[in-house]
Amino acid sequence: MHIEKRIENIAESFENTLIETNRGFNYYVDWSNIDGYKDYDIEIHAMDVLIGKNDDEFYETFKTLISKLPTVIEIFPQLFALSKTEQNKVRKNSELKIIGNTIDGDDFQIYSFNPKKLPSPLTEETIQKYYNFFEQMGLKNLYQNLIEKSTQDYIVGILVGSDSNGRKNRGGKAFELACEPIIRSVCQKYSVEVITQKKFEVLKKYGFNVSDDIAKRKADFILLDRNTKKCMNIEVNFFNGGGSKPEEIIDSYINRQADLAANSIDFVLITDGNCWKGTTNQLQKGFRHLRYLMNFNLAKASILEEIISKKFGEN
């Protein structure tokens, strides 16, 4: 009964110290992603010659530009709002498929954005093909009526807008960034090595025995001491709700702890978010079965250091 009361108190403390958000400044825009244009400064500035050209001038200017500097084709995909996944796909394949919009036309057109795959010098047919692309994609209208000063400013805006679509994927990463300074500070104090976002198989090169059951699993943080062969996995997650099921979360980490224990690896879960409000039963289950469970504030308030010092501070 005494143990159950203690678990109730810990769960209550956990719930009362949850943080409301994991959104730091880097959640809204990751400015390190907004640099995709820097390798194309010459091409981007060259595109400015199209700004404000009327119909009589536009085609001839476009033709001269693409003939003298075929590499401008490489930045065409940056002029419209492709998702990051689609941008990577286009860069990898250097082409884009567009379905035909006429009854008697081809089923689809393939546009390559690698100048090396185009005829040199460019043929009139090729120039016309990319002019049609420019026109049909709305880029001609963009340069005639919307961009007033700079292609570069417009591309930066596109990249910021595209990056905002990645916020959902950054949610978990933002919490990792919030927890990482706490983890590294403690580990530095006890001379513990920290490996981030690696599969457990990485431990094999340090002389650890890792079973096939966990070798391919990825860890947020792996803490290790090569000399004593001590190892710990810290997973960090922020759950706002909206589909997150506390029971499934707790059960999955109980299973993870068991798999890691079979490999002599300790497990720590730092989790937070509104998902945990009002989940007293699941929190109590977590504290019964997970050896080390805490939220951000509890980790910050020396509990994590106590665990790490106990594990790695002993000789």
Give the CATH number, domain containing residue 23: 3.40.1350
Number of domains in the chain: 2
Q: Do 96 and 133 belong to one domain?
A: yes
The answer to whether residues 156 and 183 belong to one domain is no
Same domain, 111 and 201: no
Q: How far apart are CA 19 and CA 297, in angstroms?
A: 8
Domain final position from 123, 146, 164: 164
Last residue of a domain, one of 110, 139, 164: 164
Per-residue pLDDT of the chain (315 residues; tens, 9 = 90+): 467 778 888 888 999 999 888 776 666 666 666 666 777 889 999 999 999 999 889 999 999 999 999 999 988 888 886 666 676 677 666 677 777 554 455 567 888 888 888 888 999 999 999 999 999 889 999 999 999 889 888 888 877 766 555 555 555 577 888 899 999 999 999 999 999 999 999 999 999 999 999 999 999 999 999 999 999 999 999 887 655 688 889 999 999 999 999 999 999 999 998 889 888 899 999 999 999 999 999 999 889 999 999 999 865
CA-CA distance, 241 to 118, in Å (whole number)? 50
What would the two tokens of residue 1 be?
A: 């009964």
The reply to whether 296 and 185 lie within a common domain is yes
State residue 1's pLDDT score. Answer: 47
DSSP annotation of 118? S
Tell me, what's the pLDDT at 5?
A: 75
Collect all residues with Cβ–Cβ distance below 8 Å to 271 and sequence separation of at least 6.
236, 237, 238, 239, 249, 293, 295
Among 164, 192, 220, residue at a domain's last position: 164
Q: Do 155 and 178 fall within a single domain?
A: no
Task: Clarify whether residues 134 and 199 are in a common domain.
Answer: no
Residues 213 and 308 grouped into a single domain = yes
Q: Say whether both 257 and 292 belong to one domain.
A: yes
Same domain (yes/no): 241, 190: yes
My answer on whether 121 and 214 are in the same domain is no
H helix count then E strand count, the chain: 14, 7
Which pLDDT score, from 0 to 100, does residue 271 have?
94
Paired with 232 in beta bridges are 223, 266
- Write the DSSP assignment of 37-92 as a string of letters: TGGGHHHHHHHGGGTT--HHHHHHHHHHHHHH-GGGGGGGGGGS---HHHHHHHHH
Residues 102 and 195 in one domain: no
Closest CA to 177 of 230, 208, 221: 221
Query: Taking the complete model, does pTM exceed 0.85, yes or no?
Result: no
Token code pair at residue 214:
């966990």
Q: What range defines the domain where residue 159 resides?
A: 34-164
Give the model's pLDDT for residue 312: 92
CA atoms of 62 and 194, how far apart (whole Å): 53
Q: Tell me: do 127 and 77 sit in the same domain.
A: yes
Q: What single letter denotes the amino acid at residue 247?
A: E
